[in-house]
Every structure is written in C-alpha cells, then in structure tokens.
C-alpha cells in the first residue's frame, strides 16, 4: 500500500465530490467520473450470495458501472455524509445515501434505508485504481418494490429487472457459484415456514 500526502488525498476527495455533484445535475456519470479512474482500475460490488458485479478497466467502468448500471437512476442523488481518509494506506471510505427523485404522498423522500458506501484505493495523479461499493441489498429491493407499487419505477429499471428475472445477467454481473436448484429452494422455503410456525 502506497503512502500519499494527506493534503493530496483530501484534494482527491474534493474533486470526487464535485464530479459527483456535476454528474447528478446532468445525469451523466461517465462524463464526470470516468476520467477519475486509472486505465487498469477495478470496480465491484456484491449482488447477493451468488453474484458479483465487476468492471475491469476504465472502459468497462464507464460503460457498465457508470453507464448500464446507472440507466434509470440518472435523477437519483447519492449524497456523501461521511468520509474517512487513510493516507498511510492510500485508501478512502465514503458513506452515502441513495435518494430517489420521487416523493411519497406524505412528502418524504423514497430513500434506501441502511448504510451505503464506497471503499477506494488511490493511485496518485488524482485517480482511483480500485473501488468496492457496499449497500443493503435487501433494502434496495424493498424500495424498488415500493416504487413499483406506487407506479414510480423508471422504465429503464423495469427493463433491467425483467432481464434479471429471466436469468439474463447484465454486463459485468458474474456468478460466484451456481444458484440452488428448485428442490433445494423448496426445501429451504418449507424449512423457514416450519421455523416460523413451530420455532424449530
């Protein structure tokens, strides 16, 4: 792990936050964030026990992580509320929220509950060479269900959900292992019903 001056990492964070604000204003994430990754950078996040998103290299990051994955979320906001900088290891962790543009009838924002964030590794020259996002996937799904029920889910997001429901992986999605078969899923479901009803 390379060490970097604290002031340089702080400036990198400020540049990153400014780029995020510009991306939110225009709904164009590749334009503002793409240049902040090295050509050989890796960007990933987990999608559950059997699936991982991985973009290898700046081109895939721009096309997949900042492109395909952000389709339907162009008007969402991802405000950072806490940044931790480790200049000795050249790493940064930022905690953010996921806030939809629509509001509920009571005036509150549709927002993913729980914690979300990004873990970055700095490579110098004001660029990241590694990033891993983390968020509560269960809460993300719950919010998408709520938006769908209220008729406020973006058509592009509906299209992606339809693809995933048919077993079609989006670009960058990789299977970590085979999904459990139908028999095992039924067995697991029945076991959970027994536990819920009988406590064993």
- The pLDDT tens digits of the residues spanning 42-87 come to 999 999 888 999 999 999 999 999 999 999 999 999 999 999 999 9
Q: Can you give the residue range of the structural domain that contains 48?
A: 6-198
If DSSP codes are grouped into helix, strand and coil, which group holds residue 132? Answer: strand
Is 66 inside a domain boundary?
A: yes
Is 1 inside a domain boundary?
A: no
Contact 176, 186 (CB under 8 A): no
- pLDDT at residue number 26: 95
> What contacts 168, CB < 8 A, 6 or more positions away?
none
Is 133 inside a domain boundary?
A: yes
CATH of the domain at 86: 3.10.450.50
Number of structural domains, the chain? 1
Listed as ranges, residues in the chain with pLDDT below 70 are 1, 185
Is 122 inside a domain boundary?
A: yes
Is 74 inside a domain boundary?
A: yes
pTM of whole model > 0.85? Answer: yes
Is 146 inside a domain boundary?
A: yes
Mean pLDDT in the chain? 93
Is 60 inside a domain boundary?
A: yes
């Amino acid at each position: 792990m390379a060490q970097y001056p604290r002031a340089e990492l702080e400036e990198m964070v400020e540049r990153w936050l400014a780029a995020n604000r510009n991306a939110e204003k225009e709904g164009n994430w590749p334009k503002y964030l793409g240049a902040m990754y090295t050509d050989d950078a890796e960007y990933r996040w987990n999608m559950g026990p059997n699936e991982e998103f991985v973009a290898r290299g700046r081109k895939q990051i721009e096309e997949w992580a900042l492109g395909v994955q952000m389709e339907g979320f162009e008007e969402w906001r991802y405000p950072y509320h806490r940044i931790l900088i480790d200049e000795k290891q050249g790493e940064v962790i930022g905690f953010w929220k996921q806030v939809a543009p629509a509001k509920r009838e009571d005036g509150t924002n549709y927002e993913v509950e729980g914690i979300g964030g990004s873990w970055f590794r700095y490579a110098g020259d004001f660029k990241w060479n590694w990033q891993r996002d983390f968020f509560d996937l269960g809460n993300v799904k719950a919010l998408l269900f709520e938006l769908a029920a209220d008729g406020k889910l973006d058509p592009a997001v509906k299209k992606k959900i339809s693809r995933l429901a048919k077993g079609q992986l989006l670009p960058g999605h990789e299977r970590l292992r085979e999904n459990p078969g139908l028999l095992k899923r039924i067995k697991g479901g029945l076991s959970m019903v027994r536990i819920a009803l009988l406590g064993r």
